Structure 1
Amino acid sequence: MKREPMPQPFVLNLSTPAAPPQHKRRWRKPAAALLVLLLAGGGWAYMQAGAKPATAAAAANDKPKAPVYELAAGDVATIGARALSIKLPLSGSLMPLTQATVKAKVSGVVLETTVQEGMIVAAGQVIARLDGAELRARAAQQQAALDEASARLALAKKNNLNSEALLRQNYISRSAYDTTQNSVELAVASVAAAQAQLDMARIALADTTLRAPLAGVVSKRYVQAGEKLAPDMPVMAIVNLSQLTLEAQVPASEIPRIRVGQDVQFKVDGFDQRAFLGKVARINPTTEAGSRAMLVYISVNNADGALRGGMFAKGQITTEKNAPRPLLPMAALRKDGTQDVVYRVENGSIKSQPVKLGVRNEDEALVEVLDGLAPGAIVLAAPLDGVKPGSKVKLLAAPVAKG
């Protein structure tokens, strides 16, 4: 039997001639190491160069900055200018300047009343009538007495003329003539007395018609038709509301500040949105009993008739009024030693500004600035923690105007 030949195995030849020469291996390793070192050094230098500005920026950011304070509209105020008034509070009641109570002058029964409470009457207008039958009869009686006295006077004058003629002829004595002359004089006196009685009767009869003594408004009607009146009984009360007087009590210690002619402004319940004006007319020279107050009488013009007698009023007397000047809120004032200063907002920062002050109004919390500030300046309206001269500020809204 024929045998197949066996296959030959594959043998890799690793003999010395196939390997690279030794001198080439010798320089490749140092070159590679040098390249690695160069690359490492360049990276380190680059990293160091980039780290320097980053470190400087970080150091700059770490430095503390000055805070900027934000100011709301209520934290600051804009200085305005106007006249500052000093006022004294007062209160009192309003009374009509002129008023009258119409009373009966004669006795009689009321026939009618022509007006009622609240009605406007004119001066001389009839407001009531009384029964005048009895007074008319009395007037007629006095007229008859006057006629009788006049007739006696005429007879006495005639007898006197006859006596005068007889005296010239010496038929009667002088004493007889004087007697007739005296009769004439007595008759003249009787006529005058009768005329006076008649005038009085006529006046009494006219008094049965009651008329308004002044123009105004009927405030009270005391009688009704059918009532019997006696002399001096009240019939109607009439007030004139065109001019009122505010009677206000003022402490005696404040009286030196009050002078005739000073302006008064007041309000009345029911007229909350309306302010009424008046002027000081008179000052009572004595204090009220049981108090240390004095009455001040204030004249009030009430042409539209809005006010009524007896209303309670509260207001103020302007005791002093200066020329228009800058006005500063008192809350904005500060002290720098003995000097009055304010903190002024200018170009986004706070500055201390000395000021010279004038009149103060405690009620309005304002003070007059004589020197140091002009209208339009912006100041801190109240103390704020941490805000001082040199502080940076920012306005969040327009400041509120003061003054």
Structure 2
Amino acid sequence: MFKDKRMRILAIVMGVIVAIVAFRVGMNIVEKNAKAKNSGGGKSAVVTAGNPVRQTITPKYKFSGTLEPVWQADVAAKVDGRIEQVLVDEGDKVSAGQALVILEQTDTNANLMQARGSYIDAQATVEKAQHDYDRAKYLFEKGAISEEELEHAQFALDNALGKLANAEGSVAAADSKVGGTTVTTPRAGIVQKRYYQEGYYAKVGTALFNIADISVLRAKIDVPEGFISSIAVGGRVECVIPSMDNLRVVGTITRISPVAVQPSRTFEAEVTVNNADGKLRGGIYADAILTALPKTNVLTVPLSAIVMRDDQRTVYVVEDGIAVRKVLKTGYIGDDIVEVLDGVTEQDVIITGGLNKVREGSKVKISERGAEEK
């Protein structure tokens, strides 16, 4: 009985030992698998690499704005009247002085005829008053009438002349109203907006059209304080129009605000674009590409070498065949290069290709092509 108990204890001990050994073996396998995952299963990831390069760069910065007409205005009715005929529509090109709409002329024509009639009557009254005055003056000089009678004739003449002047003013006003029934544009451009249809009764000052001269367009951009010394009035600017397949046109800086906008500390600048061919339209977005002064002896790395980690720009540096991640402090970022202010040196070998196979601590092998590119 004692012997059976001893055998059971021995069996339990052996089972525990076997379990411990099995656990240790399993852990070793897990660790090996983890290392293999991080190091490519013991194989080196083939990458391309090169050294950071010092060079002269010319930074280009993009600022967005909206191209607007340099001139645009509402054209309003100068007299009251019902719209009789609309002569243009939205999108039509118009020349300076071109008729846009005709208002009903019945009342204005009648008023003009009445004013002209009153003017003719006033002319006749003046002629009679002048004749009476000349006769009274002759008789006064002969002693046939009193001075009071002469003054009465003079007063009648002055009164007739005043009424004639008023009648002349009424004719001019009525004639102007007749002319005002034809609404014209003060400047050449394009009809951007037509506000009313035929039949609408327009009052004086009612805006009927919006006309814009798009032969010259202007975009306002906000330039950072640190960049303002790099631009000047008269400077050339490349503008890119995203909505027109990235069409590129040349603009000119025509104004730079002398005062910074707070709290952003940016300066408003105006970029003017010639649009004599009418290819562009007002209201479209444009990216103004401003070229800064060249920077010499700048340390750069290819943009393709940059890996974003936790909102930081990093690169992988090859040290003894191992990929080591380095955090960069960067400056200007161009289309294909990045200015490096701190983080790597010219002697470092950075991975530029094959980054999808690389992790921190990965074994790497630089391809012959990459070595040649170094």
SS, match of residue 334 in structure 2: coil
User: 1:78 touches 1:399 (CA, 8 Å); kept in 2?
Assistant: no
Match of 1:304 among 267, 272, 277: 277
Distance in 2 separating the partners of 1:171 and 1:233: 63
Distance in 2 separating the partners of 1:327 and 1:241: 44
Q: Residue 77 of structure 1: CA displacement? A: 11
Distance in 2 separating the partners of 1:328 and 1:287: 29
Match of 1:141 among 96, 114, 123: 114
Distance in 2 separating the partners of 1:213 and 1:74: 66
Match of 2:198 among 204, 225, 236: 225
Match of 1:384 among 342, 349, 354: 349
Q: Residue 293 of structure 1: CA displacement? A: 3.9
- Comparing 293-302 with 282-291, which one deviates more in the overlay? 282-291
Q: Does 1:125 align with 2:90?
A: no
Q: Residue 122 of structure 1: CA displacement? A: 1.3
In structure 2, what residue type is equivalent to 1:330? T
TM-score by length of 2: 0.64
User: 2:80 touches 2:203 (CA, 8 Å); kept in 1?
Assistant: yes
SS, match of residue 237 in structure 2: strand
1:183-222 correspondence runs (5 A)? 183-222=156-195
Q: Residue 252 of structure 1: CA displacement? A: 4.9
Does the C-alpha gap of structure 1 residues 232 and 290 become closer, same or farther in structure 2, counting only changes over 3 Å?
farther
Q: Does 1:267 align with 2:240?
A: yes
Q: Percent identity?
A: 27
Distance in 2 separating the partners of 1:113 and 1:307: 26
Does the C-alpha gap of structure 1 residues 301 and 239 become closer, same or farther in structure 2, counting only changes over 3 Å?
same
- Comparing 211-220 with 289-298, which one deviates more in the overlay? 289-298
Does the C-alpha gap of structure 1 residues 259 and 78 become closer, same or farther in structure 2, counting only changes over 3 Å?
closer
Partner of 2:300: 330
Q: Residue 129 of structure 1: CA displacement? A: 0.7
Partner of 1:245: 218
User: 1:166 touches 1:172 (CA, 8 Å); kept in 2?
Assistant: yes
* Unmatched tracts of structure 1, length 5 or more: 1-71, 333-359, 368-380, 386-393
Q: Residue 140 of structure 1: CA displacement? A: 1.0
Q: Does 1:363 align with 2:328?
A: no
- Comparing 174-183 with 227-236, which one deviates more in the overlay? 174-183
- Bigger radius of gyration: 1
Q: Residue 287 of structure 1: CA displacement? A: 5.5
SS, match of residue 305 in structure 1: coil
Q: Which runs of 4+ in 1 moved over 2 A?
A: 72-81, 84-89, 173-176, 249-259, 270-274, 283-295, 315-322, 326-332, 360-367, 381-385, 394-400
In structure 2, what residue type is equivalent to 1:125? Q
Q: Residue 331 of structure 1: CA displacement? A: 3.5
* Unmatched tracts of structure 2, length 5 or more: 1-46, 303-330, 340-345, 351-367
Q: Residue 155 of structure 1: CA displacement? A: 0.8
Partner of 1:176: 149
Does the C-alpha gap of structure 1 residues 329 and 137 become closer, same or farther in structure 2, counting only changes over 3 Å?
same
In structure 2, what residue type is equivalent to 1:306? K
Q: Does 1:115 align with 2:88?
A: yes
Distance in 1 separating the partners of 2:140 and 2:223: 84
Does the C-alpha gap of structure 1 residues 108 and 251 become closer, same or farther in structure 2, counting only changes over 3 Å?
same
Q: Residue 254 of structure 1: CA displacement? A: 4.3
In structure 2, what residue type is equivalent to 1:249? D
Distance in 2 separating the partners of 1:77 and 1:384: 8
TM-score by length of 1: 0.60
User: 1:262 touches 1:317 (CA, 8 Å); kept in 2?
Assistant: no
Distance in 2 separating the partners of 1:288 and 1:187: 65
Does the C-alpha gap of structure 1 residues 328 and 319 become closer, same or farther in structure 2, counting only changes over 3 Å?
closer
User: 2:59 touches 2:294 (CA, 8 Å); kept in 1?
Assistant: yes
Does the C-alpha gap of structure 1 residues 252 and 180 become closer, same or farther in structure 2, counting only changes over 3 Å?
farther
User: 2:52 touches 2:349 (CA, 8 Å); kept in 1?
Assistant: no
Does the C-alpha gap of structure 1 residues 97 and 224 become closer, same or farther in structure 2, counting only changes over 3 Å?
same
1:35-184 correspondence runs (5 A)? 85-184=58-157
Distance in 2 separating the partners of 1:327 and 1:274: 33
User: 1:94 touches 1:310 (CA, 8 Å); kept in 2?
Assistant: yes
SS, match of residue 281 in structure 2: coil
- 1:1-20 deviation digits (Å, cap 9, x = unpaired): xxxxxxxxxxxxxxxxxxxx
Q: Residue 95 of structure 1: CA displacement? A: 0.5
Distance in 1 separating the partners of 2:222 and 2:69: 17
Does the C-alpha gap of structure 1 residues 308 and 248 become closer, same or farther in structure 2, counting only changes over 3 Å?
same
SS, match of residue 130 in structure 2: helix
Partner of 2:249: 276
- 1:25-84 deviation digits (Å, cap 9, x = unpaired): xxxxxxxxxxxxxxxxxxxxxxxxxxxxxxxxxxxxxxxxxxxxxxx9985999999xx6
Does the C-alpha gap of structure 1 residues 158 and 118 become closer, same or farther in structure 2, counting only changes over 3 Å?
same
Q: Residue 87 of structure 1: CA displacement? A: 3.9
Distance in 1 separating the partners of 2:237 and 2:189: 25
SS, match of residue 261 in structure 1: coil
User: 2:74 touches 2:211 (CA, 8 Å); kept in 1?
Assistant: yes
- 1:289-310 deviation digits (Å, cap 9, x = unpaired): 8855443211111122121111
User: 1:100 touches 1:213 (CA, 8 Å); kept in 2?
Assistant: no
